[in-house]
Amino acid sequence: MTEAILLVGGKGTRLRPLTVHTPKPMVPAAGVPFLTHQLARAKAAGVEHIVLATSYLAEVFEPYFGDGSALGLHLEYVTEEEPLGTGGAIRNVASRLHSGPQDPVLVFNGDILTGLDIRKLVHTHETAGADVSLHLTRVTDPRAYGLVPTDATGRVQAFLEKPQTPEEIVTDQINAGAYVFRRSVIDTIPAGRPVSVERETFPDLLAAGAHLQGMVDSTYWLDLGTPRAFVRGSADLVLGRAPSPAVPGRCGDRLVLPSASVADDAKLTGGTVIGEHAVIGAGARISGSAVLAGAVVEPGAVVTDSLVGAGAQVGARAVLDGVVVGDRAAVGPDNELREGVRVWCEARIPAGAVRFSSDQ
Ligand code: GDD
Ligand code: MG
């Protein structure tokens, strides 16, 4: 098995205020653009040729990854003029595949961090003789996902994307966003119009009696669609909980890129990553957070489970917990920002302007 399609288009807007010119897959996680982890994992599983199906800010992918040779891959890029949806995007790149009609082709959502055993998914697909095989995972609240009930042999019985009513929540097994398609099935997706693989292709295939096989496991799995999840994923990569051959350094409590400057008594824990040329001041305490390139965290600041954007500034003694600071934004000294606050790119919060705790 040698080929894969990576879906990195669509609206993709959820991290946008933080990274105006950077599509989500290119935001650094554990020091490298997130997509690098998916590409490196595919490569490690024996994939050689990957087509990136993009539509949103597509022009940033190719200058960074080029022909893929730095990763030992052959990469191609296809840009949709208008987003074609997940199924339309897959169909749109079919002409770039070299596989024969019966060969397995991997397809990945571009925002998933997972320990999926890719070879095992392909093996399951081939053993079952399936038309499409889907990686499934279990979650406590499946409403934001595609529900995939299976029978005792793992054969898919239904595909219910983003169930609306309690009656529709028939299982805690969800589509984990990685598939193996029999190549010939890709060619049956209608061309030239938007198609959702989740809402149209999978239900139609099931209705027509096609064999969709599920492989459920309990490996690491996270959809990085929200900033909160993105920060978690970055920390898990640094900690080694989420396996990736692309983490630039040894896994552990922290990852400090070589050009960063960290004061001797700053404390970095919980999978914190400090990006290139970032500066961390004396006595700062940073836990479970991602500090992107060129950001400055001043002395005594306490940053927990937060994302500090490229070139942003966190003032002295500021407290951030569960916060996203956009690129080049500045949080002045002595502010206290908590759970869910998102500071827009380039915004400036004056010293001591915001606090959550009672007045002192
Ligand atoms: N090229 C292209 N064009 N890619 C697209 C398009 C498009 O029009 N629309 C979406 N994508 C890509 C996204 O970039 C993402 O990588 C992937 O397809 C899935 O789209 P999301 O918008 O992230 O979907 P979701 O997270 O709400 O739901 C999907 O993922 C869940 C798992 O995280 C579905 O596949 C669910 O069934 C699944 O459970
Ligand atoms: Mg998603």
Q: How confident is the model at residue 60 (pLDDT cuts 50, 70, 90)?
A: confident
Q: How confident is the model at residue 130 (pLDDT cuts 50, 70, 90)?
A: very high
267 has a pLDDT exceeding 60: yes
318 and 196 in a common domain:
no
- Cβ–ligand 1 distance for 223 under 6 Å, the answer yes
CB 157 within 8 A of CB 50: no
Higher pLDDT: 20 or 358? It is 358
Question: Taking the CB of residue 73, how many other CB atoms lie within 10 A of it?
Answer: 18
113 and 56 in a common domain:
yes
Q: What CATH number did the domain enclosing 324 receive? A: 2.160.10.10
323 and 206 in a common domain:
no
Which pLDDT tens digit goes with each residue over 20-30? 556 778 889 99
288 and 154 in a common domain:
no
As a whole number, mean pLDDT of residues 44-61 equals 90
Ligand nearest to the CA of 175: 1
360 has a pLDDT exceeding 70: no
Which residue stretches of the chain are H helix?
A: 34-44, 61-65, 85-92, 118-128, 183-186, 202-207, 227-239
As a whole number, mean pLDDT of residues 289-297 equals 97
Contacts for 195 with CB less than 8 Å, ≥ 6 apart: 84, 85, 86, 87, 88, 91, 189, 201
Residue 334 is part of which domain span?
253-349
Atom number of ligand 1 nearest to Cα 197 = 35
262 and 214 in a common domain:
no
pLDDT of 3 reads: 96
- From the candidates 24, 120, 162, 267, which is the catalytic residue? 162
Asked if residue 248 is part of any domain, the answer here is: no
Which pLDDT tens digit goes with each residue over 190-206? 999 999 999 999 999 99
State the burial class of residue 5 (Cβ atoms within 10 Å of its Cβ: 0-12, 13-18, 19+): buried
Q: Which residue type occupies 46? A: G
Assigned token pair, 269 = 């824990």
272 and 185 in a common domain:
no
Q: What percent of the chain has pLDDT over 70?
A: 95
Q: What CATH number did the domain enclosing 91 receive? A: 3.90.550.10
Q: How confident is the model at residue 320 (pLDDT cuts 50, 70, 90)?
A: very high
144 and 266 in a common domain:
no
pTM given for the model: 0.94
Nearest-10 crossing angle of helices 34-44, 227-239: 50
304 has a pLDDT exceeding 70: yes
259 and 212 in a common domain:
no
Ligand nearest to the CA of 81: 1
User: What is the sign, positive or negative, of the torsion defined by CA atoms of 97, 119, 145, 240?
Assistant: negative
Find, among 206, 287, 148, 134, the residue nearest to 308 by Cα. Answer: 287
The C-alpha atoms of residue 299 and residue 301 are separated, in whole angstroms, by 6
- Cβ–ligand 1 distance for 298 under 6 Å, the answer no
- Cβ–ligand 1 distance for 12 under 6 Å, the answer yes
Assigned token pair, 331 = 């949080």
Assigned token pair, 210 = 């096609």
> How high is the mean pLDDT of the chain?
94
Question: Taking the CB of residue 67, how many other CB atoms lie within 10 A of it?
Answer: 12
Q: Which residue type occupies 117? A: D
